[in-house]
């Protein structure tokens, strides 16, 4: 009991600088404990021992599993049942962490596609260079003591060079040579295999970060020795898993090592910074601050940890990186004016134009100024933005009802919302970004309330609303319905002058935001979109009517249930909204927040009905994750407080949702990458 008391009262003492110094001292005390360094030493020894088991590595270029290992290659293609990629004039197949000094045989299947010279360079040493005819052929290269430079390298880099070649289907893409398979077979005998240093450092650093993360989580809960023991146990478990994975596949673990360290370090920084900031909030105990910080970090780790693995194939990621690259070359007109970005995918079979706003690409383009891999930075930032909605759900829930732990339950529910992982698996980054902007706008409306706005408030809200409208056309419709509906409801709110004034402010703000959006972007698309829609709707001879849902409403319900992975959050949200609406003695401010949340959640059934005729199911469901999590958290907390069996049922419900989300996320990543 004493330990719990200490955990509650150790908060808000001193300035933010004092808190940071205290945090630094706590982490330093964890680091001076010798058993953790012994565990790290044993882990390094296990990795070195694992290196001594020779492996055969195969990269099937042209299959999704090649994602982590090819650089400067074009899109995947299949020809006569042979999957391959065209290299650029210079193309690279990279296998990090294979280890050095053990002789190996390299077998490569390639096709120049025309008579052309082909050069193959291994670890900077040229092993093959001559003229080849068109057609698939196999090169077998032996790397032993004769090629000492190539043999000693602990990472394997295979470079392909050929003349610039352009095909009729892609005249702007310089091509070199088709590559299908690369096989590396280490000799069974041949002496000590020298480990690769970089993955060893990254994985050791990741283990140390896990130790600090877990140890810091338990600081303040009982004795310091307990925090050390829990964190040492985490190091042993995680270290065993990493060592086993490394023994099974050196290259795969080495490729992922840097991203594992980035995930762990970012999660630790998130917990530190978030908790330091939340401690300044007088209404929160230290336990609540820490819980929120951990939820934020866990949400980020789940999203980025899966999305940024080099082996992961995020479906739309190449598409978005292509347009981001187009913008960075200075060709902003291709994104801004009607063109390829706004055309629907070819597989739809429609000549339809949709004004897909380039705002996402303009917002993320400055990341190119940083000295890191651009795609990794994009994944990192989009994961961070979406994870921050955990805090938004908590804040909005706390404004709506007084139970802090109910608000934390809603934040936790958003962190494991299965639908969020579908969005990340699809890689619909502009949609994720636009919904973050829309959430920010609705939170701002709650924050400013119904008082008369200052000029700075007007400018800020108009700009934020315009950005939300510009971010994505579907989200623009959602924002208009929610904000417009909120304004109209306030207009008839007991006829109070304050609510009527707020209603007028909201409507004027929305109109001005739309005016700015049309002037800045959407106005360019009015005529082209109308023309494409008219052509699409024009009757054609021989066209037969198509039925979107042959099974009627039953098919639509079945598809929707499968799309959201599990309907349990929606059911909890429905119960939560009923509980919130039945609260007695709610202030006018809380009632207005409840009204906004209800309108926000009402998007789901509204567009479910619209989806019977139009394909809108995906975008509107993603947009409703925040209110579903908020109301679902209220339902879970209310159930938890009902007694012993009810509390177990609440924990079971949350566990089932989290497990379904994790299984779905892993299954999607494995399926797409194999």
Rounded to 5°, the CA angle 398-400-403 comes to 50
CA distance 616 to 474: 8
Mean pLDDT score, 132-141: 94
Mean pLDDT rounded to a whole number for the chain: 89
Tokens 């008839």 correspond to 492
| DSSP conformation letters of 397-408 | HHHH-S-HHHHH
Mean pLDDT score, 79-96: 93
Q: Which of 210-214, 311-315, 598-602 has the lowest mean pLDDT?
A: 311-315
Q: In the structure encoding, which two tokens stand for residue 35, read together?
A: 């058993």
Rounded to 5°, the CA angle 60-64-69 comes to 60
3-state SS, one letter per residue, for 254-293 = HHHHHHHHHHHHHHHHHHHHHHHHHCCCCCCCHHHHHHHH
Q: How confident is the model at residue 206 (pLDDT cuts 50, 70, 90)?
A: very high
Contact at 8 Å (CB) between 209 and 117?
no
Q: How confident is the model at residue 381 (pLDDT cuts 50, 70, 90)?
A: very high
Q: pLDDT value at position 9?
A: 40
Q: pLDDT value at position 81?
A: 87
Contact at 8 Å (CB) between 186 and 54?
yes
Asked if the model's pLDDT at residue 541 lies above 80, the reply is no
CA distance 195 to 199: 9
Q: pLDDT value at position 342?
A: 82
Q: How confident is the model at residue 614 (pLDDT cuts 50, 70, 90)?
A: low
Q: pLDDT value at position 2?
A: 35
Rounded to 5°, the CA angle 433-435-438 comes to 115
Tell me what percent of the chain is helix, strand and coil, each rounded to the nearest 5: 65, 15, 25
Asked if the model's pLDDT at residue 390 lies above 50, the reply is yes
Q: Which of 71-75, 215-219, 534-538 has the lowest mean pLDDT?
A: 534-538
Contact at 8 Å (CB) between 53 and 187?
no
3-state DSSP call for residue 205? helix
Q: pLDDT value at position 533?
A: 62
HSE-CB at 183 with a 13 A cutoff on CA atoms is 10
| DSSP conformation letters of 518-571 | HHHTGGGGHHHHHHHHHHHHS--TT-----S-TTTHHHHHHHHHHHTS-SHHHH
Contact at 8 Å (CB) between 619 and 475?
yes
pLDDT tens digits, residue range 333-348? Answer: 999 998 888 876 665 5
Please name every residue paired with 86 in a beta bridge, in sequence order, or none if there are none: 178
Q: Which residue has the higher pLDDT, 170 or 87?
A: 87
Mean pLDDT score, 387-399: 96
Burial grade of 508 (CB within 10 A; 0-12, 13-18, 19 or more): middle
pLDDT tens digits, residue range 241-274? Answer: 999 999 988 898 999 999 999 999 999 999 999 9
Asked if the model's pLDDT at residue 521 lies above 80, the reply is yes
């Amino acid at each position: 009991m004493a330990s719990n008391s200490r955990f509650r009262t150790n908060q808000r003492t001193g300035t933010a600088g004092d808190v940071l110094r205290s945090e630094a001292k706590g982490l330093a005390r964890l680091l001076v404990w010798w058993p953790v360094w012994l565990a790290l030493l044993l882990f390094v020894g296990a990795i070195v021992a694992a290196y001594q088991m020779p492996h055969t590595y195969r990269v099937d270029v042209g299959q999704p599993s090649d994602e982590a290992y090819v650089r400067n290659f074009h899109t995947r293609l299949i020809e006569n049942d042979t999957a391959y990629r065209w290299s650029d004039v210079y193309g690279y197949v990279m296998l990090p962490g294979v280890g050095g000094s053990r002789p190996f045989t390299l077998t490569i299947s390639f096709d120049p596609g025309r008579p052309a010279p082909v050069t193959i360079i291994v670890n900077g040493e040229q092993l093959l260079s001559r003229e080849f005819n068109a057609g698939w052929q196999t090169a077998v290269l032996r790397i032993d003591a004769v090629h000492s430079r190539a043999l000693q390298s602990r990472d394997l880099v295979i470079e392909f060079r050929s003349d610039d070649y352009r095909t009729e289907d892609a005249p702007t893409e310089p091509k070199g040579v088709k590559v299908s398979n690369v096989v590396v077979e280490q000799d069974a005998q041949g002496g000590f295999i020298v480990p690769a240093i970089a993955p060893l450092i990254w994985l050791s650093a990741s283990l140390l970060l896990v130790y600090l993360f877990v140890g810091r989580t338990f600081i303040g809960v009982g004795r310091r020795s307990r925090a050390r023991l829990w964190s040492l146990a985490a190091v042993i478990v995680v270290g065993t898993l990493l060592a086993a994975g490394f023994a099974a596949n050196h290259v795969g673990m080495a490729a992922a090592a840097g991203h594992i360290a980035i995930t762990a370090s970012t999660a630790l920084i998130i917990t530190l910074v978030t908790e330091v900031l939340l401690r300044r909030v007088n209404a929160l105990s230290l336990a609540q601050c820490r819980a929120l910080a951990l939820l934020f970090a866990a949400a980020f780790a789940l999203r980025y940890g899966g999305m940024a693995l080099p082996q992961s194939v995020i479906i739309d990621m190449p598409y978005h990186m292509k347009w981001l690259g187009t913008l960075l070359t200075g060709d902003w007109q291709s994104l801004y004016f009607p063109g390829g970005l706004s055309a629907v995918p070819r597989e739809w079979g429609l000549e339809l134009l949709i004004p897909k706003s380039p705002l996402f690409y303009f917002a993320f383009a400055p990341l190119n100024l940083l000295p890191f891999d651009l795609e990794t930075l994009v994944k990192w930032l989009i994961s961070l933005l979406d994870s921050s909605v955990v805090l938004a759900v908590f804040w909005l829930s706390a404004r709506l009802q007084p139970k802090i732990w109910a608000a934390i339950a809603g934040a936790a529910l958003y962190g494991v919302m299965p639908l969020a992982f579908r969005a990340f698996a699809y890689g619909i980054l502009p949609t994720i970004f636009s919904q973050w902007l829309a959430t920010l706008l609705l939170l701002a409306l709650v924050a400013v309330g119904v008082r008369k706005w200052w000029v700075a408030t007007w400018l800020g809200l108009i700009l934020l609303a315009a950005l939300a409208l510009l971010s994505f056309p579907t989200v623009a419709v959602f924002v208009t319905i929610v904000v417009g509906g909120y304004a109209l409801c306030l207009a008839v709110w007991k006829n109070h002058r304050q609510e009527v004034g707020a209603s007028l402010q909201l409507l004027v703000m929305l109109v001005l935001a739309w005016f700015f959006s049309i002037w800045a972007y959407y106005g360019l698309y009015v005529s082209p979109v109308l023309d494409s829609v008219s052509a699409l709707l024009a009757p054609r001879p021989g066209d037969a009517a198509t039925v979107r849902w042959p099974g009627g409403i039953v098919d639509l319900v079945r598809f929707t249930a499968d799309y959201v992975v599990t309907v349990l959050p929606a059911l909890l949200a429905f119960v939560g909204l009923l509980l919130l609406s039945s609260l007695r003695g709610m202030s006018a401010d809380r009632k207005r927040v409840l009204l906004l949340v209800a309108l926000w959640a009402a998007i789901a059934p509204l567009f479910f009905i619209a989806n019977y005729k139009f394909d809108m199911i995906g975008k509107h469901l993603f947009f409703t994750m925040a209110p579903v999590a908020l109301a679902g958290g209220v339902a879970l907390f209310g159930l938890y407080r009902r007694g012993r069996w009810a509390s177990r049922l609440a924990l079971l419900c949350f566990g089932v949702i989290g497990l379904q989300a994790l299984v779905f996320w892993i299954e999607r990543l494995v399926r797409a990458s194999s």
